[in-house]
């Protein structure tokens, strides 16, 4: 199954509103995998497309080091990682 983000999606709007990076920093793969796993856990609950889920997905797609690392710490604090 293929998913395509439309321009009107809340995740795309949140991703574009924040800082963006190129994802070429040490530890990117670990952080990306951890956030992706947490997003999958969120999607399996009733929090699907909640603000928490949208912000995590936006950080995941941003490639920005500080944004992704801060989201990882937030998700760890919430017990999702």
Q: 28 is written with which tokens?
A: 């990117």
Alpha-carbon distance of 23 to 40, in angstroms, equals 21
In order along its 81 residues, the chain shows pLDDT tens digits of: 566 655 678 888 888 888 899 989 999 999 999 999 999 998 888 777 788 889 999 999 999 999 999 999 999 999 988
CB 75 within 8 A of CB 58: no
* DSSP secondary structure, 34-61, as one string: HHHHHHHHHHTTTTTTSHHHHHHHHHHH
- Both tokens assigned to 35: 């956030």
């Amino acid at each position: 199954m293929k998913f395509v983000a439309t321009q009107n999606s809340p995740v795309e709007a949140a991703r574009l509103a924040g800082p963006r990076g190129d994802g070429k920093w040490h530890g990117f793969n670990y952080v990306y995998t951890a956030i992706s796993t947490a997003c999958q856990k969120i999607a399996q609950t009733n929090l699907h497309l909640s603000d928490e889920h949208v912000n995590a997905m936006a950080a995941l797609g941003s490639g920005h080091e500080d944004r992704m690392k801060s989201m990882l710490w937030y998700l760890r604090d919430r017990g999702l990682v």
